[in-house]
A and B are shown apart, each in its own frame.
Chain A
Amino acid sequence: MPTGSPLPSPMALKRSSPQHSMFKKRSSQSLSHMASAASYLSALSQADARARNSNGMSPTSTPALSLSSSVTSSSEDTVLNEDDELDNGDGLVIPTRPPTSEQVFTTVHSEFGHCANEEYRCVSQHTPGTIIPGHVEQDPPYYILLSTYISYLILICLGHFRDFFGKRFNPSAYRHLMAHDGYAPLNSDFDSFYTRRLKLRMDECFSQPITGVAGRTIQLLDRYSPDYNHTQILTGTRTRALNISSYNYLGFAQARGGCADVVEETIKRYGVTTCGTRLEGGTSELHTFSEALVAQFLGVEDALISSMGFATNSNYIPALVGKGCLIISDELNHASIRFGVRLSGASVRTFKHNDMASLESLLREVISQGQLKTHRPWKKILLIVEGLYSMEGTFVNLPAIMELKRKYKFYLFIDEAHSVGALGPHGRGVADYFNVDPRSIDILMGTFTKSFGAAGGYIAGNKALIDRLRLRGYSGAYAEAMTPPVLTQIIASMASIMGVNLPPPSTSSRHGSVGPADEIYQYPGPVPASSLPSWVTLPTALSSSEEGRDRLRRLTFNSRYFHSGLVKLGFITYGHPSSPVIPLLVFNPGKMNMFHRMMKDRKTPIIVVVVAYPATPLVTSRVRFCVSAAHTKEDIDCILRACDEVGDILDLKHGIPKSERWAIEDIVGRAVELANA
């Protein structure tokens, strides 16, 4: 990095304490009279203007800035240097309620919301003995179903009608679907029917380009289409919106803060690449550090890291099973799992989503019948399930599966792409949530994209297995190794959840153990500083795991509050009440586009993800929310209010009967009660 860089030093956060005291002094002098948010804001904008004029960037010249967040001590802050952001009516950039003198926030509000209320915290944990909700499909009234089917019928009829006549009267527009010059069409009109006739119509909901961090808020690059979505033209303007769509469960999508500072240091020290595959000289010490840390985090012997989440499944499942083996797969498993299964050459059977009775009867059948035709016993049976299903929000019924595993001796592969980090009192995923010993699960797979703000994936298990996979998986020999900045993000974010012990701890606390008396698996406590690269220094908020713990509990509170809020408003939702993925069913395909647009066009724009056939069954089109620890309670309130209004207009409330519903103000007021219910 050039020396004259305006970026703050990696140690910027260390300065928080002097700022803190400085601020305390000021708050008693000049800010005490600011009673209303408006006066606070005007002071802020004045301070900002002053900061813009003066080039010397001492924190004392910008009292209000250091007040809103202690990291914004630099003029180059991505958030505050935008001229159009000074109007803070929507509370997206600067909290509507100014912090009190005791509160010091080390995050940028637009990336990771400021929330100091200890009431808005929950622990994600399964209460033993309670029933694990299966996948219950709640049916809407018949008129909704009927109109949904009719919508699709009209769509299909009109679509084929247009195709038929279009090909005859306007062949130039259908050129790519018809054979020409002796070439067969690259795309058959049948295969692309839904793309052309359904997706194209609602293209404004998809592939929206953004800029900046996809954290608590997101900046959309505005666009419009002059020709019915065939082309999208960027207008050059930007809109900041509340983001409840990105996979950012623990809120580590941050361009500022301890993790980003360490990543900057890595880029300086290691560059952005390791030049090659893992087995051909592309292995860096950072790989060794992060793999050991991941294994420790999950409580297993060893782990390996792959540079892409999708490829973790598709490149390693074939190394586990082959011909003569059977894979039993949940019907809603992710495409990457299906891809890997197809490459492996093993036989596949599927069972009904998260239905343990269906699984058991299938197990009894396949074990007793043996291989197809030959009836020889299967070499291995591998059950592949996901910890948290990304489209339904259901948790796998792990206790029941462990029971079945003991009886039927299959191997268990859990894809924790969405659950690792997001579930469990320690954030270690679904095994942590259900308090199952992680070492009793054969293969734990997961990704770093969703909870850790990084990229890529891991596979963890016992050492012999992982070593075998290092050699036999496709990635080791043929795919590029993971890059240093991403590895460091993983190290920093995981260490901040586990905590770092500066003095070398006694060996007993380092390793997870099963207490003989209570049979409860203890996750290893803080990691010794020696398991991080020597140059990595995390600010105390991170190394004490205080912030990490806070993130876990904020996520659970937000998920539980939002989920029960939607239910109490009368919506049909799927999934576990603690799931950070919350699908809201809209059924009619036409409502998806409307829902998306009405949420985006509000005063505080909210962006959502809508999913339809073929990603879901035909009738159950849905909106999928991904709650984050970065959201404040006010954000969730805001989204619930928006859903309430839009839901009324679009007639989406078909869940619990009217008499049991709550008014929005009740929900917002009794949030803590709802979340802890």
Chain B
Amino acid sequence: MASTATPLEPIFSFVVESLLALERAFYSLPGSGIIERYIRSSHQNDPGRTLLELILVVLVIRTLLQSRTRADRTGKSFIKFSDKEVDELVDEWVPEPLSLPLTSQEELELSSVPVVVGQSGPKPKLAATGKVAVSLSGLNFTGLAGNEHIKAKAIEALRKYGVGSCGPAGFYGTTDAHLALERDIADFLGTETAILYSQGFSTITSVIPAFCKRGDIIVADRGVSFPIQKAMQISRSIIRWYDHNDLQSLEEVLQGIEKERKKKRGPLTRRFIVTEGIFEKDGLMVDLPKLIELKLKYKYRLILDESYSFGIVGRTGRGLTELYNVPASKVDMLLGSVAIGLCAAGGFCAGTEFVTEHQRINGLGFVFSASMPPLLSVSGSEGINILRSSPSIFESLQENVRAARAILDRVDCITIPSHPASPMIHIQIRSPSVPTLHPSAAAHLSLKPSNPSFILPKDASNWDWDVETEEVLLHEVVEEALSQGVMIAKAQRLRGQEMVEVRPSIRLAMTSTLTKKETEKAVGIVKASLVKVLGKRRL
């Protein structure tokens, strides 16, 4: 006995001592008396409660320690395997190849992408032929690309700031050049402030999720562009669709939502209308005054993507708000592209101080990305200066648009959905059987509206065009025009990834730098190519 007691004794005394020390430490804490009294009295009144509280504490600790990745091991569908079985399964598993090799059609498409040597602009030199072509594909609506003033300013900025900004805007990536462009855009449009992003695509995919969260309602046009679709996917909001560029349909959808909300008596959520000024897909233009009226009536916030109208339409290029004479401050979030409208890079969102400040913390593409190279924002500022001071640019641009439409509207093998004033002109192949096939035109035929929960309009089953054959035909048209010295481009789509298949089209971008004569000649060649390729098909 004695032999067993001796080795244990120091352990016992150690335990007793440390318990005592613990007790002393506990009582030396301020407020320990209160805790002690609470536990004592609670235990005295109801010993069961002590047990319950202990279990609670254990549960809390367990939940805190549980890792997220292990959580579904306990799920119903989890099957237990032995290590050997796992090894066998691992050996058996054969992954699919990471990427499939290109098909011959895709290879053709990739190899026929034109490469420009030297200055891009109205008359680029092509690497493939070594010849100068007239470009109707470059997004150089106001001819700012290659402008000597902009070049001089850019070089000045290069010698002041270097090229990269070397940091996100939050961490020493905001230069006075960025602040100046933000101020210039806000002044130009007449909004309180603006915020700059370093890429047009990411502007849209950042702004929408910054405001629209799970449970919020977005009412969107069925024809919105791909970046808007992706932005809405990221936002996880409830999405309702209205017919493409049909504001009557929009009003019906808004009424439907209001009715539903009253019935359910749900809480007030954020509600947004998302649409484009000039649609990237077909060049249609939204009726802005009517849209504003609806938004105010139903108390929605308006997110308007002016990527293809800012710097492109309006008397001095202020976009749709100038064209319709609506104050830009009525649009809650006005998005635009500095890359397209001002021929520099990036995009912006203009709005109230609160709207932009919110994005400086919540706009993912703003927070987690380096700000744009300062020399490009200086180019953007200079672009605005030029637009402000020379309204004649827009006169000649519109003149060219009218000249082009005068020629193209008379071609009977094509349809042009674009608005007559839109400098971006989409050309689709006219289907032989049905005279008008444009979705919005067909929508009026039936009385029952499309289901707002689905992006597909009700007449989608009537679409009789085949993407592949039309793509091939249009590709031929592009090649034919190029061989005649006019560079045009098929509107590129990610087939299978757009929420609704978009009808293939050729996208012409008019530019003010070409004279009316040059434009007419180039568009004449496009017309001849269309007739040659599509006329062949008819026979």
Q: Give the distance to chain A from B386, nearest Cβ to Cβ, in Å.
A: 13
Residue B145 at the chain A interface, CB threshold 8 Å: yes
CA of A280 to CA of B492 in the docked complex: distance in angstroms? 7
Contacts of A182 in B (CB 8 A): 268, 299
In the complex, are the beta carbons of B167 and A209 less than 8 A apart? no
By a CB distance below 8 angstroms, the chain B residues around A206 are: 170-171
Kindly state whether residue B368 has any CB partner on chain A within 8 Å. Answer: yes
**Minimal beta-carbon separation of A388 from chain B (angstroms):** 16
A409 part of interface (Cβ distance < 8 Å)? yes
Asked if B102 contacts A186 (CB within 8 A), the reply is: no
Partner of A271, one of B102, B150, B497: B150
Which residues of B (356-406) have their CB < 8 Å from a CB of A?
358, 360-361, 364-365, 367-370, 372-373, 375-376, 379
| A326 (CB) vs chain B CBs: closest residue | B95
Whether B139 sits at the interface, judged by CB under 8 Å, is yes
Of A285, A351, A442, the most chain B CB neighbours within 10 A belong to A285
Interchain CB contact under 8 A, B137 and A207 = no
State whether B77 touches A372 (Cβ < 8 A): yes
Quick check: is B164 within 8 A (CB to CB) of the other chain? yes
Contact with A1, one of B151, B199, B230 (Cβ below 8 angstroms): B151
Determine if B255 is an interface residue (Cβ-Cβ < 8 Å): no
A485/B106 in contact, CB under 8 A: no
Q: Which residue in chain A gives the minimum CB-CB distance to B355? A: A186
Q: In the bound complex, do residue B137 and residue A269 qualify as a contact, i.e. CB atoms below 8 Å apart?
A: no
* Cβ–Cβ contact B234 & A311, under 8 A: no
Segment from A45-53, A136-144, A336-344, A426-434 that makes contact with B: A336-344
Known: A186-B270, A381-B95. A213 touches B161 (CB 8 A): yes
- Name the interface residues of A509-568: CB closer than 8 Å to any CB of B: none
CA distance A210 to B175 in the complex (A): 5
Q: How far is the CB of B361 from chain A (nearest CB, A)?
A: 5
Provide the bound-state CA to CA distance between A469 and B100, in Å.
Answer: 10
Is the pair B198, A455 in contact by a Cβ cutoff of 8 Å?
yes
Closest partner residue, chain A, to B89 (CB atom): A368
Q: With a CB–CB cut-off of 8 A, which chain B residues contact A349?
A: 69
A281–B299 contact, CB under 8 A? Answer: no
C-alpha spacing A195/B210, complex, angstroms: 14
Residue of B165, B169, B339, B489 near A214 (CB, 8 A) is: B165
Chain A CB within 8 A of B200 CB: yes
Let me know if B175 and A209 touch, CB within 8 A: yes
A483: chain B residues at CB < 8 Å are 344-345, 373, 376
Within 8 Å by CB of B90, from A209, A243, A364, lies A364
With A186-B301, A310-B202: A455-B95 Cβ-Cβ less than 8 Å: no
**Nearest Cβ in chain B — how far from A203, in angstroms?**
10
CB-defined contacts of A362 to chain B, threshold 8 Å: 69
Q: Is the CB of B373 within 8 A of A455?
A: yes
Which residue of chain A is the closest to B133 with respect to CB atoms? A281
- Residues from chain A with Cβ under 8 Å of B163 in the complex: 253, 259-260, 263, 453-455, 485-486, 489
- B residues in contact with A315, CB < 8 Å: 201
Q: Is A187 an interface residue (CB 8 A)?
A: yes
- Whether the pair B494, A264 counts as a contact (CB closer than 8 A) is no
- Residues in A whose Cβ lies below 8 Å from that of B301: 183, 186
Is B160 touching A209 in the complex (CB atoms < 8 A)? no
Q: Tell me the smallest distance from the CB of A459 to a CB of chain B, in Å.
A: 12
Interface string of B265-277 (1 = CB under 8 A from A): 0001111000000
B202 A308 Cβ-Cβ under 8 A: yes
Question: Which of A275, A342, A381 contacts B138 (CB under 8 A)?
Answer: A275
Within 8 A of B (CB), among A114-162: none
Question: Contact between B95 and A379 (Cβ–Cβ < 8 Å)?
Answer: yes
Residue in A211, A442, A475 with the greatest tally of chain B CB atoms within 10 Å? A211
Closest partner residue, chain A, to B217 (CB atom): A184
A278 touching B113, Cβ below 8 Å: yes
Q: Which residues of A contact B179 (CB under 8 A)?
A: 209
Q: Does A172 contact B (CB under 8 A)?
A: no
Q: A186-B358, A209-B179, A273-B120 are in contact. Are A245 and B99 (CB under 8 A)?
A: no
Given known A-B contacts A186-B354, A607-B172, A7 and B167 have beta carbons under 8 A apart: no
Given that A272-B379, A448-B164, A453-B164 are known contacts, is A214 also in contact with B110, CB under 8 Å in the complex? no
Would A269 and B119 count as touching, CB distance under 8 A? Answer: yes
| A281→B234 contact, CB < 8 A | no
Q: A256-B159, A372-B77 are in contact. Are A195 and B89 (CB under 8 A)?
A: no
Among B9-17, B79-87, B309-317, B410-418, the one that faces the other chain is: B79-87
The reply on A168 being an interface residue by CB < 8 A is no
Residues of A within 8 A of B344 (CB): 272-273, 483
Q: Which residues in chain B, 124-170, are within 8 Å of chain A measured between CB atoms?
A: 127, 135, 137-140, 144-147, 150-152, 154-156, 158-167, 169-170
A15-35 interface (Cβ within 8 A of B): none
In-complex Cβ contact of B162 among A254, A280, A368, A478 (8 A) = A254
In the bound complex, residues from chain A placing their C-beta under 8 Å from that of B115 are 283-285, 287-288
**Do residues A245 and B120 form an inter-chain contact, with CB atoms below 8 A?**
no
Asked if A272 contacts B154 (CB within 8 A), the reply is yes
- The reply on A665 being an interface residue by CB < 8 A is no
CB nearest to A372 among chain B residues: B77
Say which residue of A186, A218, A272, A410 sits within 8 Å of B376 (CB atoms): A272
Interface flag for A661 (CB, 8 Å) = no
Are the C-beta atoms of A308 and B116 separated by less than 8 Å? no
CB distance from B22 to the nearest CB of A (A): 16
B492 touches A277 (CB 8 A): yes
A356: interface (CB < 8 Å): no
A5 and B493 CA atoms in complex are apart in Å by 45
A285–B162 contact, CB under 8 A?
no
What residues of chain B lie closer than 8 Å to A455, measured between beta carbons? 163-165, 198, 370, 372-373
When the two chains form their complex, are residues A350 and B68 in contact, meaning their CB atoms are under 8 A apart?
yes
For the complex, give the distance between the alpha carbons of A2 and B148 in Å: 9
A287 and B166 CA atoms in complex are apart in Å by 21
Which residues of chain A (175-200) have a CB below 8 Å from chain B?
A: 176, 179, 181-187, 191, 195, 199
* B225 interface hit (Cβ, 8 Å): yes
- In the complex, whether B249 has a CB less than 8 A from a CB of chain A is no
A311–B160 contact, CB under 8 A? Answer: no
- B279 contacts chain A at the CB level, 8 A cutoff: no
The answer to whether B166 and A311 have CB atoms under 8 Å apart is no
Beyond A184-B270, A260-B158, whether A208 also contacts B172 by CB under 8 A is: yes
A342 to B232 CA separation, bound complex (whole angstroms): 12
Known: A281-B137, A368-B85. A208 touches B161 (CB 8 A): no
Partner of B95, one of A271, A335, A411, A471: A411
What 1/0 mask marks residues of chain A from 471 to 483 whose CB sits below 8 Å from any chain B CB?
1101111111001
Cα–Cα distance between A315 and B227 once the two chains are bound (Å) = 10
Given A187-B358, A218-B172, A267-B154, the answer on whether A468 and B164 have CB atoms closer than 8 Å is no
Which of A5, A207, A218, A382 has the largest count of B CB atoms less than 10 A from its CB?
A: A207
Is A89 positioned at the interface, with any CB of B under 8 Å from its CB? no
Contact yes or no, A272 B151, CB < 8 A: yes
Nearest-CB distance from A204 to chain B (Å)? 12
- CA A307 – CA B68 in complex, angstroms? 35
Residues of B near A214 (CB, < 8 A) are 162, 165-167, 172-173
Check: B176 CB closer than 8 A to any chain A CB.
yes
18 contacts between A and B (CB under 8 A): A5-B155, A179-B268, A191-B213, A212-B160, A247-B166, A255-B159, A255-B162, A256-B159, A271-B119, A271-B150, A273-B145, A279-B492, A282-B138, A308-B201, A367-B93, A368-B90, A442-B98, A478-B201
Not counting A272-B150, A273-B140, A455-B370, a sample of 13 additional A-B residue pairs whose C-beta atoms are within 8 angstroms of each other reads A1-B151, A1-B152, A182-B268, A255-B162, A273-B144, A273-B339, A276-B489, A310-B202, A363-B90, A409-B90, A411-B95, A455-B373, A478-B225
Measured CB to CB, the residues of A under 8 A from B are: 1-2, 5, 7, 76, 78, 111, 176, 179, 181-187, 191, 195, 199, 206-215, 218, 221, 243, 245-248, 252-256, 259-260, 263-264, 267-285, 287-288, 307-311, 314-315, 318, 320, 334-336, 339, 342-343, 349-352, 358, 362-365, 367-369, 372-373, 375, 377-382, 407-411, 442-443, 447-450, 452-455, 464-465, 467-472, 474-480, 483, 485-486, 489, 607, 609
4 nearest A-B residue pairs (beta carbon): A275-B138, A477-B492, A310-B369, A308-B199
